[in-house]
Chains A and B, each alone.
Chain A
Amino acid sequence: MRKYLFIFKSELMSTLQYVFNIAAGFIGCFILLFIFLNLWQYIYSNPSEIINGYTMNQMIWYIIITEILWGISSGKKICVKISNDIKGGNIAYNLNKPYNYILYSLFSHLGSAFVKAIIYTILGMIVGFMFLGSFPNLNILSIIAVILTSVLSTIISALLVSFIGLFSFIIEDSTPFYWLYSKLILIVGTIFPIEYFPSIIQPILKLSPVYVVCYGPAKLFVDFSLNNFITVFISQIIYIGIGFGLCTLLYKKGVKNLNVNGG
């Protein structure tokens, strides 16, 4: 475990050199938040109106949290890195290294995500307060719950994106699969809470990555409940197990073919 913590630390130190670039990256996020603020202000003709269980302020805070989470954990970099390692043959150099390639990629991603998380959270909270003038009702327990589920959400997202990156073992360029995954999260998870979708689809969405990656932490932020926290937490642990298992399986299968092809 110490070696992975060292990988995490070295990636974190390296990312700290680009703090300004990360902060500048928030501009894109801010533009989207601004558009959604306008859109929801238009849709909620009266700010105290409740649509599908959400007030306008809750809706906008929900989007701010999901956008922050997506900004931190979208993981395009990790997907491209794994895909390029496979396409370029660099993956062969990792075979004799004393680490697990999946865990190496995961901890390296978490190192950069950590810095991003701090910057995006501070900026996101400032923007939210600027737009709405108040925070949702939070207490120590709900803050801890949101932080914990957000960390797990980042890990799940990294594992799922790594899995897509590992698809390059089968199809040369796995980027198109990343587009689909990102749109699933963005449209179904980031823009609307699950309650906005028809009741027939809602149980399916609760089983999908959308629930553990975006909806769970954001819902806890705008409307905390202990029962909801336990459900989200357990679902996230299950997803981490499945995600890691799938990545390991695909990696092992892919590496076998790589050996046959001569690397």
Chain B
Amino acid sequence: MLMEVKNQFKITLLSVKYALVREMLNKTTFITNILFMILNNASFIIQWIVLYSLKDNIGGYTFNQVLLLWGIAASTYGFSHFFFKNAYYLSDTINNGKLDSFLVQPKNVLLSAITNSVETSAIGDFIYGYIMLFIFGFSIKNFILFTFFTICGGFILTSISVILSSLSFWFNKSDIIVDTGNSLMTSLATYPDGIFKGIVKILIYTLIPAGIVNYIPVEIMTEFNINLFLIVIIFTITLISLAFLIFYKGLKRYSSSNLMVARI
């Protein structure tokens, strides 16, 4: 069992490595994509400078904490979109019968399907996250925690996309649900939770877990809390398991569309 996991991990890393090499063929485009994504994210600092000129504290967050919130949101997004880019196109892969080529390979179908290409600009998101960490306050403890939350958050974002995309096994047009779910996660993640009230506040810690991916990590990095730390770990493991479970349950319903494609 452990050997199988190790082999699958190796294959996944190789798949990502070759996808990256393909992207690096045009070096100018590769570097421009990364640099401009960093600039693109940095432009949002203007928004917060203007908002903090109106109020010292927004939703219980100081300016530095908002930067950290942005950092975590960007790096989790970057991690997920770099390693598991195709999780965000899985709905299309299922709907158009493009899973065929992954089914015949002696590898984990889900992992093969979501790791066979990378998003170059996501490296920019990832780097931006760490720049924000340095501005917030660098220490070995913060660095380890930040990296840990980036990985957990990345897995959560990917799992949500896989779960929502797997609905395509049962329903047509589920791509709208996937887009809405992903859009909710990224949009809510970059605003302090203190501005939300009532049912939305409950939703961001349950159905739309932006709170687990972003708000709890900021809270832990500001003041360590072992209970909250454990909640993040348990939530991540549960969601990953759920993603595999739902995908493989749906896969039994999959039928090929006899689509002829060349994978180069």
A residues sitting closer than 8 Å to B (CB atoms) are: 21, 24, 27-28, 31-32, 35, 38-39, 41-43, 51, 171-173, 175-177, 179-180, 183-184, 187-188, 191-192, 196-197
Q: A173-B26, A187-B46 are in contact. List 17 more A-B contacts (CB 8 A).
A: A21-B176, A24-B176, A27-B180, A28-B187, A31-B183, A31-B184, A32-B187, A35-B191, A39-B51, A42-B58, A176-B36, A176-B37, A179-B36, A179-B39, A183-B43, A187-B43, A192-B47
Q: Would A172 and B28 be within 8 Å (CB), given that A39-B195, A43-B58, A197-B50 are in contact?
A: yes
What separation, in Å, do the CA atoms of A43 and B57 have in the docked complex?
Answer: 10
User: Which residues of chain B are within 8 angstroms of A191 by Cβ–Cβ distance?
Assistant: 47
User: Which residues of chain A are within 8 angstroms of B180 by Cβ–Cβ distance?
Assistant: 27-28, 31
Q: Would A27 and B183 be within 8 Å (CB), given that A35-B191, A42-B58 are in contact?
A: yes
Structural contact, A42 and B176, CB atoms closer than 8 A? no
Q: Would A187 and B191 be within 8 Å (CB), given that A31-B183, A38-B196, A197-B50 are in contact?
A: no
Minimum distance in angstroms from B50 CB to a CB of chain A:
5
Minimum distance in angstroms from B197 CB to a CB of chain A:
7
What separation, in Å, do the CA atoms of A171 and B179 have in the docked complex?
Answer: 30
User: Which residues of chain B are within 8 angstroms of A173 by Cβ–Cβ distance?
Assistant: 26, 29, 32-33
What separation, in Å, do the CA atoms of A179 and B183 have in the docked complex?
Answer: 17
What separation, in Å, do the CA atoms of A180 and B32 have in the docked complex?
Answer: 12
What separation, in Å, do the CA atoms of A176 and B121 have in the docked complex?
Answer: 9
24 pairs of residues in contact across A and B, judged by CB atoms under 8 Å = A24-B176, A24-B179, A31-B180, A31-B183, A32-B187, A35-B187, A38-B191, A38-B195, A39-B51, A39-B195, A41-B195, A42-B195, A43-B58, A171-B29, A176-B32, A176-B33, A176-B36, A176-B40, A179-B36, A179-B39, A180-B36, A180-B43, A187-B46, A188-B46
What separation, in Å, do the CA atoms of A215 and B29 have in the docked complex?
Answer: 33
Structural contact, B191 and A192, CB atoms closer than 8 A? no
What separation, in Å, do the CA atoms of A172 and B33 have in the docked complex?
Answer: 11
User: Which residues of chain A are within 8 angstroms of B1 by Cβ–Cβ distance?
Assistant: none
Minimum distance in angstroms from B167 CB to a CB of chain A:
15
Q: Which residue of B lies closest to A27 (CB)?
A: B180
Q: Of the candidates A51, A171, A172, A187, which one forms a contact with B47 in the assembled complex, judged by CB atoms under 8 Å apart?
A: A187
Q: Which residue of B lies closest to A184 (CB)?
A: B43
Structural contact, A192 and B59, CB atoms closer than 8 A? no
Structural contact, B197 and A38, CB atoms closer than 8 A? yes
User: Which residues of chain A are within 8 angstroms of B50 by Cβ–Cβ distance?
Assistant: 192, 196-197
User: Which residues of chain B are within 8 angstroms of A176 by Cβ–Cβ distance?
Assistant: 32-33, 35-37, 40, 121
Q: Would A180 and B47 be within 8 Å (CB), given that A51-B54, A173-B33 are in contact?
A: no
What separation, in Å, do the CA atoms of A60 and B200 have in the docked complex?
Answer: 19
The answer, yes or no, to whether B6 is at the interface (CB within 8 Å) is no
Structural contact, B40 and A172, CB atoms closer than 8 A? no
